[in-house]
Amino acid sequence: MCGIVGYVGNRQAQDIIVEGLRKLEYRGYDSAGVATLLDGRTHVRRAVGKLSNLANLLKETPLVGTTGVGHTRWATHGRPSEENAHPHTADGVTVVHNGIIENHLALRDELRKAGRVFKSETDTEIFAHLVALESARGLSLADAVRAAAARVHGAFALVVMREDSPGVLVGVKVASPLVVGIGDDEAFLASDVPAILAHTRRVIFLEEGDMAVITPQKVTLTTLRGEPVDRPVRVIDWTPVMAEKGGHKHFMHKEIFEQPRAVADTLRGRVGREEGQVFLDGVKVEELKSIKRVVVLACGTSWHAGLVGKALIEQFAHVPVDVELASEFRYREPIVEPGTLALAISQSGETADTLAALKEARNLGARVMAICNVLGSAIAREAEKDLGVLYTHAGPEIGVASTKAFVTQIVALHLMALGMGRARGHLDAQAVRTELQALSRLPKLMESVLDDDAQIAAIARTMLGTRDTLFLGRGMCFPIALEGALKLKEISYIHAEGYAAGEMKHGPIALIEHDLPVICLVTQGNGYDKMLGNIQEVRARGGRVIAIATDGDKQIGSLAQDVIYIPQCPRFLEPALAALPCQLLAYHVADGRGTDVDQPRNLAKSVTVE
């Protein structure tokens, strides 16, 4: 998973590219590089490690030129090193790449035999040589890229420039995201919108097999076969500041506090409280009437949202739901019966396992739909071919640990369940109106939980030396136990397990020992009485109970060492509210332990490779 930025215009490219890469660091960061064209020559700077290393190098030896490309890398082929860092060059051709060229070994062998000398271990460099060879035959840059792209298989978002074509960049999009930014007498190519938001909000999302040739004055879109294509120019309403940290120490903390707004934005325009109507814009709701079973396909946090969605859809639409790990679904022989809806849930819309599972489900005859946060992403476009996409309007989520995307996924699932239930006649207008009234109060209720940030930070400080933790929940809060454990482990590196509390007696209770922190989701609406029993079991074995409970609970104070309260609310809103203390606890533990909260080790924001 890498980040690409390209610029053509009348301003110096270097700083525009570096600032754009900074917005893409979440996509991977083991090395980075920039190249510009000046007087017919290519000038390259590359550095291993974080982008700041490259920025320091550029301070010492700046690049001049108004045509340039840049890249932050998350290694897939070739260890993190300067020689493997992008951009890669060959005979005046420069390439940056996100994805995997699957036939790179065969091509490397062929090119070596043709006398080509390689400077890196990467699959990307092969593409630079292919374009160089095609260029030597006199082809234009666009035609040389087209011919080279015909030779490679796999996933590749590429941006290419050539010394004899200043002011021209060529971008290719196959299975990895690439967007075009249209400015005034300047244009951009980038892996994701935040990289260019400071300069333009007019964006084109390239489709599978699209090629873009950009100059400061013109953007030409074709297929890789050269046929003209027409793609909509979308006006992105994310302001640059939304993609900044907004005064918070980390993107993750900012995004946790953005959740009330993100939920309000996700509800906006979709709630007809008076007439008890839900408006699922972008979704063919009528087609949901004939659905007999929903199969959720997702990974990680999005899979946890799917578990909450199961309860919501079964309750409000009365349709059975299976929640599948996409990475498992895609590799077994799944049985997909007529009337099945495959519902992909993905923040990035680019997760390879989820995309592949969705395509597999469609090939097996399922109807497809998605809940996504990124406009025009691969999963979104796959779903747009059938029942459509219900977008979460969480805005850019830069922190690798998903927070606002998760809560807005739950809200989107709630809306979908209500809309589906209404369309199928399982819910009447009054029932929908009641739920919508509750849902529209959620942003305010979330703010009251976020007000406890300092209390949660104090609890986190007592956990900094912890080696193991357990999260326990029941009913709709069982997925929140899983999510809380994932948040803690992925950013603080503390081993954490989430469990259905009823499972304690089937094994995990053996883990309870003196002072082991056990975060217990003991809210009023999801297994409260049974959770009190589990809390007693934990206490009897010396475990330390940190409870997430409901305001007004009179019993929990004497049972738990620490209590974080969420407001009283209908049980269906408890997951979204109980998730907030879990997120903040994980954040403050990680911050206290000094880990890289926004870019945890070994992780990337979106896993676009298998």
Binding site for ligand AGP (CB under 6 A): 299-302, 346-348, 351, 354, 400-402, 490, 606-607
Question: From the CB of 302, what's the least distance to ligand AGP, in Å?
Answer: 4
Question: From the CB of 305, what's the least distance to ligand AGP, in Å?
Answer: 8
Whole-number Å distance between alpha carbons of 130 and 107: 9
The yes-or-no answer on residue 444 being catalytic is: no
Question: From the CB of 177, what's the least distance to ligand AGP, in Å?
Answer: 11
Whole-number Å distance between alpha carbons of 391 and 398: 17
CB atoms within 10 A of CB 212: 25
Contacts of 601 (CB under 8 A, 6+ apart): 493, 595
- Residue 155 CA, chain-centre distance (Å), reads 18
Question: From the CB of 491, what's the least distance to ligand AGP, in Å?
Answer: 8
Q: Which helix (H) or strand (E) holds 235?
A: strand 234-235
Q: Enter the tokens of residue 454.
A: 């300092």
- Name the pairing type of β-strands 544-550 and 517-522: parallel
The β-bridge partners of 234 are 203
Question: From the CB of 330, what's the least distance to ligand AGP, in Å?
Answer: 13
Nearer to ligand AGP, 387 or 582 (CB): 582
CB atoms within 10 A of CB 467: 7
Looking at 462-558, list the stretches that DSSP marks H as alpha helix, in order from N- to C-terminal side: 478-492, 528-540
Nearest partner of 34 among 10, 15, 11, 9, judged by Cα: 15
Nearer to ligand AGP, 84 or 354 (CB): 354
Side by side, the strands of the sheet bearing 495-500 are 495-500, 468-473, 517-522, 544-550, 562-566
- Name the pairing type of β-strands 169-174 and 210-214: antiparallel
- Name the pairing type of β-strands 202-205 and 31-38: unpaired
Whole-number Å distance between alpha carbons of 186 and 196: 11
- Name the pairing type of β-strands 495-500 and 468-473: parallel
560 with 545: CB under 8 angstroms?
yes
Of 2, 372, 520, 569, which one is the catalytic site residue?
A: 2
Residue matched to tokens 């309000």 = 264
Question: From the CB of 248, what's the least distance to ligand AGP, in Å?
Answer: 17
Of 254, 404, 487, 605, which one is the catalytic site residue?
A: 605
Whole-number Å distance between alpha carbons of 8 and 166: 9
Nearest partner of 120 among 156, 64, 150, 79, judged by Cα: 79
- Name the pairing type of β-strands 468-473 and 517-522: parallel
Question: From the CB of 353, what's the least distance to ligand AGP, in Å?
Answer: 8
349 with 379: CB under 8 angstroms?
yes
Side by side, the strands of the sheet bearing 210-214 are 88-90, 93-101, 154-162, 169-174, 210-214, 219-223
Question: From the CB of 77, what's the least distance to ligand AGP, in Å?
Answer: 21
Whole-number Å distance between alpha carbons of 86 and 46: 7
Nearer to ligand AGP, 401 or 597 (CB): 401
Question: From the CB of 605, what's the least distance to ligand AGP, in Å?
Answer: 7
Residue matched to tokens 């190519």 = 189
**Dihedral sign, CA of 536, 525, 568, 509?**
positive
Calculate helix-pair angle for 404-423, 429-450, nearest 10 degrees: 170
- Name the pairing type of β-strands 88-90 and 67-73: unpaired
Question: From the CB of 446, what's the least distance to ligand AGP, in Å?
Answer: 18
The yes-or-no answer on residue 530 being catalytic is: no
461 with 454: CB under 8 angstroms?
no
Question: From the CB of 357, what's the least distance to ligand AGP, in Å?
Answer: 11
The residue of the chain with the least Cβ separation from ligand AGP equals 300
Burial of 272 (0-12, 13-18, 19+ CB in 10 A): middle
Nearer to ligand AGP, 313 or 401 (CB): 401
Q: Enter the tokens of residue 426.
A: 């399982």
Q: Which residues are catalytic?
A: 2, 605
